[in-house]
Each structure stands twice: as C-alpha cells, then as structure tokens.
Amino acid sequence: MSWIDSLFGPAGLMPHGVCFLMRSDLIALHVIADGLIAFAYFSIPVTLLHFARKRKDIPFKHVLALFAAFILLCGMTHIFGIWTIWRPVYYLEGVVKIVTAIVSVVTAIVLIPLVPQALSMRSHSELEAINRKLEAEVQRRADAELQLRRTVNKLTQSNAELERFAYIASHDLQAPLRTIGSFTGLLGKRYSESLDDGGREYLEFIQHGVTDMRTLINDLLELSRVNSAEPKIEAVDTGDVVEHVVEQLHADIESSGATVEFGELPTVDADARSLQQVFLNLIGNGMKFQPEGQAPHVRVRAWRVGDGWQFSVQDNGIGMLPEDRDQIFLVFKRLHTADEYPGTGIGLSLVQKLVQKRGGEIRVDSAPGQGSTFVFDIPDSLPEESTLATPGQASPEAVLV
Amino acid sequence: MAQAHILLVEDNPADVRLTQEILRETSLDFELAVARDGEQAMAMLRRQGAHQDATVPDLVLLDLNLPRKDGREVLAEVKQDPSLRSIPIIVLSTSKAESDVRTCYDLHANCYLTKPVDLNHFAEMVQMIERFWFNLALLPPKSRSEIAAE
C-alpha cells in the first residue's frame, strides 16, 4: 500500500464515529460545532483580505497574511474533525495539523519583534491629539494672516489718505499763495516808487518766498501723484522726451552756457509724463550742481542690458562723496544750503519713485569733483499690477471736484 | 467798438480785484459786473429780482467752485436756456483735472482756462482774452430788447 493510500484511510483504523458508537445525536453535535467553527475560521481571512485591499496603508501586511493562513488552516483542522467521523484520514489530518503548527509557530515568532514597532505607532487618541494641535496651529496661522491682511489694509488706507491729504493740502495751498504772489507783484509794479530801498527789499523777499513755496508745492504735488495717478503706458520715444526737456530748460541752458548731448535714444513702453519728469530732474540737476563759472555739460546715453534698456545721465558737476550716494534719494534730503544750490530735496526722490514704479532701479556713480552719472533702467516687461496704482481707489484729482 | 460788458462770476474778492486791475491795464473799454455766487449770476443773466436793470454781458468769466450754485450748474443752465446760450462762457478755474475740463466742454463751455499762478502769466492771459474775444472774434449780436435795456 502506497503512502497516498495510507493518507486516505489506511486499513485497520477506525473512523472517529466509532468512538461515538455512531450515535446520531453525538455526531450531529460534533458536526455542527466543527462546521460552525470552520465556517467562522474561513470567513475571518476573507474579511481580513477585504480589509487589506481597501486600506492600502496598513502596516505589517505580511503578518496579516500569515495570520490569515493560520486561521484558514485552523478551519481546515475542524473540517478534518468532521471528515474523520466517517473516514479514518488521520494521517492527512496529522499533516494538516503539522502545517498549521508550523504556520502558527512562524506567526508567533514573527509577531514578537513587531511588538515594539507596533507600540511606537501612534495610537488613535495620540493621533487625535496631534490632529487637534495641528488644527490649532492652522487656526493660529489663519488668525495671523487675517491680522496681517487687516494691517495691510489699514496701512494702504492710511497711505491713500495721506496721499490725498498731501494732494489736497498742496492744491489748496496754491490759491492763497497765488493771491499773495499776485498782489505782491502788483504792489511792486504800481507802488514801488513810493517805497524806499528797504521796502523794495522786503517785497523782493516776499516774492522769493512765494517762488520757493510754489516750487515746493508743485514738487509735493508731483510726489503725491506718483502713487495715486494711473500711469498711461505707451510707446514713448525717449529721444523726443529728452528733446522736450531740453526745450523746457532752454532759459537755464542759455544763461549757463550748458550743453546737453544725446545721440540715438530708444523707444520704450512707459508713461510719457513720468519719463519726462525723470529726465527733467536728472538733466536739471546735472546743470544745477556745478562749480562756480563752469559751463555744464550733460550727456544722455542708452544701451541694452539683459531684457531692458539702461539709461545714463552724466554731468561734469561737483559730484558727491560715496557716503552720500544713497542719501540723495531720500525725500527732502539736501546736501547743500539753499544759498549754494536751490531746491526742495524732492526731485531725486521723485525720480527714484517713478523709475521703481516702472519696475526699474536707479543708482549713481560719483566722486567729488568728478561729476555724477545717474544710471537707471527700464525693463521691457511691465511691473506686476500690484506696484501700479491700487485699483478702485479714486485719484486725488477725482476727489477734488 | 462799444463798451464791453463782462460778467465775472467769482467768490474770491482778491481774484475779483486782480481781474479788475489787470483788465484795467489793457486797452479794453469795459464794464465788469461781478456775481459772487451761482445764484446771483443766474439772477443777473436773467435780469430777475434786484437785477432787472442788469446788462446782458458780452462774455462771462466763470469760476467753477462757487457757493450755493457752482459753476457747472450755472454753465448747464445758461447753455440750456435759448435766450442765454449764445453768450460765450470762459471757465476760469484752478483745477487742471481732466474730469473738470471734460465736464465743462460737455456742458458747452466756450473755453476752459486755468488761472495762472504767476502774476505776469495772469496778465498775459487777460490780455489774450481781450485780444481774442474782443478784437479777433465776432460776438453774437445783441437782440433789440437787450440793447433797449442798456
């Protein structure tokens, strides 16, 4: 007899039912019990398999597989419990038991080193606590962001108000100043004869004061306009702009014997009025800050750098110390007294704002007695919308009806 | 030419006086009537109430910011009135705002000027007004009733 025959009920062995004396109630009891256990054992791996397929992220999948096999095999041993009632397949049953034993021992061994790993895993309550902490952190950041946005809004608003105030104040200052200037002028024209030298000198002081204040107001108006007025970007021939500025400075050029030199200048996308202001201030400064008796020479050039144009306005003037180079762009910052060189200290600050608004930068190369070269750039691309005038805000001009 | 009748609508006494003084320096034979606000200006133009003897002006110099009825309203009313709309109105304002300029021309202002800050420029402007409107331009002839009223 082959060993296979001995697996399926070797001769001489009694089926297990004999022990039960083939009593039907006893057999039924065992069959039902073993059947239910087997059914439950078979269903557990199916459930586990289903769970593992749905939750792809579960850890220790190989242990889960071992465990499933172990339970499946346990189920099998109960099937054999039923089978052996009628057939004495004790060898086969023994083999299944051995396999079950091996699988259970392996599972038991594999399980041991997993304990510390499983312990180090976050428990559900721990995860909840972390989650709560994260939520609190998210809330805290949202609050901070809201606060920041509120502050920015407040600042933007107060900035706009300040600009409007500056504009209205300077605009309204002009009316009384016009009256003072006009009547001082009339007084000088009509009654100058009846005044003595002292009186005429006083009148002159008043008129100088009026002129200075008018310049200051105009400069302030320009400065407040930089942020509020919407730039009108168009193709502007910088050659035309410089030519126009030279015409504007005609009187000063004549009186000082200045030369303003410029060759081919490019056409760029910019706000013509702003560009005009930039060149007017830079060329005007180049002519103004000169040593006594020297004929000013101002040279305007342009060249390509990267993706934009770079312009330079170079003069043969008095120049400045290296430590003053950044200072000069501060509003109201002046390096000289009004007697030496008149001015409001607004010009270069205005120029810098205008250049930056167009997305460029300005710097100066200078040394005392060596003249100054102002270099600024105009990139081909326009700056982001945010650096332009804030939309939805009325320009001061619109407010002043 | 006959005496020029100018109506100046202006609430600032200094500006009134200044305009008067500068006009006096020109060769123009003029009579300057002054309205200190928009309502008075309309009453004078329509010869109503205390202004029944007012002369219909050849030219109106109109400030924009006036008490009670402002310059834009005066402009709108005059230009909608068939008996008044032929009178040239020169808007004389401190405002350089595009919106103001556009509004005034929309309301059929004949000319928009900004008040120069400098006295000499102001004088030049008045001289130009005189030369253009009273020497070069032909003004609408006055109707019989207007002449009778003078």
Cross-chain Cβ contact B98/A185 below 8 Å: no
Check whether residue A57 and residue A75 sit in a common domain. yes
CB within 8 Å: B119 and A214: no
A157 with A213, same domain: the answer is: yes
Which of A182, A183, A400 faces B97 most closely, judged by CB atoms? A400
State the smallest CA–CA distance between residue B137 and chain A in angstroms.
Answer: 29
Do residue B12 and residue A179 have CB atoms under 8 angstroms apart?
yes
| A183: contact with B, CB 8 A cutoff | yes
Dmax over Cα atoms in chain A, in whole Å? 158
Based on the domain organization, do A244 and A175 belong to the same domain? no
pLDDT score for A399? 39
- Nearest chain A Cα distance for residue B22, angstroms: 9
The pLDDT of residue A2: 66
Q: Which of B12, B15, B21 has its CB closest to that of A186?
A: B21
Q: Quick one: CA dihedral B56, B58, B61, B65, positive or negative?
A: positive
Report the DSSP pairing between strands B111-114 and A308-315: unpaired
Task: Report the residue of chain A nearest B99, measured CA to CA.
Answer: A398
Q: Is A310 on the interface with B (CB under 8 A)?
A: no
Looking at the structure, tell me whether residues A59 and A89 fall in a common domain. Answer: yes
Q: Which of B18, B97, B100 sits opposite A182 (nearest CB)?
A: B18
Single-letter amino acid, residue A159: N
CB contact under 8 A, B117 and A186: no
Question: What is the token pair recorded at B46?
Answer: 């329509």
What is the pLDDT averaged over residues B39-43? 90
Among candidate residues A225, A254, A276, the one where a domain is terminated: A225
- Would you say residue A136 lies in a domain? no
Please state the rounded mean pLDDT for residues B27-33: 87
Per-residue pLDDT averaged across B132-140, rounded? 89
Hey, are the CB atoms on B12 and A401 less than 8 Å from each other? Answer: no
Domains: count for chain A: 3
Query: Considering the domain boundaries, does residue A290 fall inside one?
Result: yes
Are residues A236 and A210 both part of a single domain? Answer: no
Q: Looking at the structure, tell me whether residues A194 and A109 fall in a common domain.
A: no
Residue A21 in any domain: the answer is yes
Residue A96 and residue A15 in contact, taking contact as beta carbons nearer than 8 Å: no
**Domain-terminating residue out of A171, A206, A225:** A225
Interface of A with B in 158-177 (CB under 8 A): 171, 174-175, 177
* Residue stretches of chain A with pLDDT short of 50: 386-401
pLDDT of residue B30: 87
Distances (CA, A) of A186 to A183, A203, A213, B16, B30: 5, 11, 19, 14, 20
Measured distance CA(B22)–CA(A389) in Å, rounded:
42
- Nearest Cα to A327, choosing from A345, A354, A305? A345
Same domain, A112 and A21: yes
Q: Which residues of A touch B97 (CB under 8 A)?
A: 397-398, 400-401
Cα separation, B113 vs B115, whole angstroms:
6
A209 and chain B: CB distance < 8 Å anywhere? Answer: no
Q: Alpha helix locations (H) across A19-60?
A: 24-54
Residue pair B145/A208 in contact by the 8 Å Cβ criterion? no
Report if residue A273 sits inside a domain: yes
pLDDT tens-digit map of B64-87: 888 888 899 999 999 999 989 999
Does a structural domain hold residue A206? Answer: yes
Task: Choose among A181, A398, A401: nearest Cβ to B117.
Answer: A181
The residue out of A67, A86, A120 marking a domain boundary is A120
Residue A251 belongs to domain with CATH number: 3.30.565.10
Q: Are residues A175 and A238 in the same domain?
A: no
Interchain CB distance below 8 Å, B14 and A183? yes
- Which pLDDT score is estimated for A142? 95
Chains A and B: how many Cβ contacts under 8 Å? 40
Residue closest to A347 by CA, chosen among A222, A195, A194: A222
Query: Considering the domain boundaries, does residue A345 fall inside one?
Result: yes
Provide the pLDDT for residue A136.
94
CB contact under 8 A, B120 and A185: yes
* A281/A268 same-domain check: yes
Choose the closest CB to A400 out of B15, B95, B115: B95
**pLDDT at position B111 over 80:** yes
Q: What is the pLDDT of residue B108?
A: 94
Claim to verify: residue A160 and residue A220 sit in the same structural domain: yes
pLDDT at B101 over 70: yes
In chain A, residues with a C-beta closer than 8 Å to the C-beta of B14 are: 179, 182-183
| Distance, first Cα to last Cα, chain A | 120
pLDDT at A105: 92
Which one, of B143, B134, B141, B119, lies nearest residue B15 by Cα?
A: B119
Domain that holds residue A110: 3-120
Mean pLDDT, rounded, for B124-145:
84
Residue A179, in any domain of the structure: yes
Of A178, A183, A186, the CB nearest to B117: A178
Q: Is residue A388 domain-shared with residue A252, that is, in the same domain?
A: yes
Complex ipTM, two decimals? 0.75
- Considering the domain architecture, whether residues A189 and A327 belong to the same structural domain is answered as no
Considering the domain boundaries, does residue A253 fall inside one?
yes
